[in-house]
Amino acid sequence: MKWKNYIETDPNILFGKPVIKGTRISVELVLEKLGNGMSEDDLLEAYPHLSKEQVQACIAYASDQLKSEIAYSDG
């Protein structure tokens, strides 16, 4: 998945948060909805201008971002 084809950041849109290109729908919103149990089909129905590829790009973006983070443990 080439998420860069679907995700952009612009300091003038949502304070520079990553969004789906051409929208004000943040990656954060998509992931939050999915994480709270909304199915991909329900998400696409609620936001009919989104595509399955854009939703998958949000997941791929999050995965790539986590790969570059350093994990710390509390113990």
Assign residue 53 the CATH number of its domain: 1.10.10.10
Does 74 reside within a domain?
Answer: no
73 in a structural domain:
no
Confirm whether 75 is domain-assigned: no
CA terminus-to-terminus distance, the chain: 36
Query: For the residues 20-26, what does the mean pLDDT come to?
Result: 95
Query: Shortest CA distance to 22 belongs to which of 64, 69, 54, 67?
Result: 54
pTM recorded for the entire structure = 0.87
Quote the domain boundaries for residue 38.
3-65
Q: How many domains does the chain have?
A: 1
User: Is 12 a domain residue?
Assistant: yes
Q: What pLDDT sits at residue 75?
A: 63
In a domain, 46, yes or no: yes
30-70 per-position pLDDT tens digit: 999 999 999 999 999 999 999 999 999 999 999 999 988 77
Q: Is residue 71 part of a domain?
A: no
d(CA 71, CA 66): 9
pLDDT at 26: 97
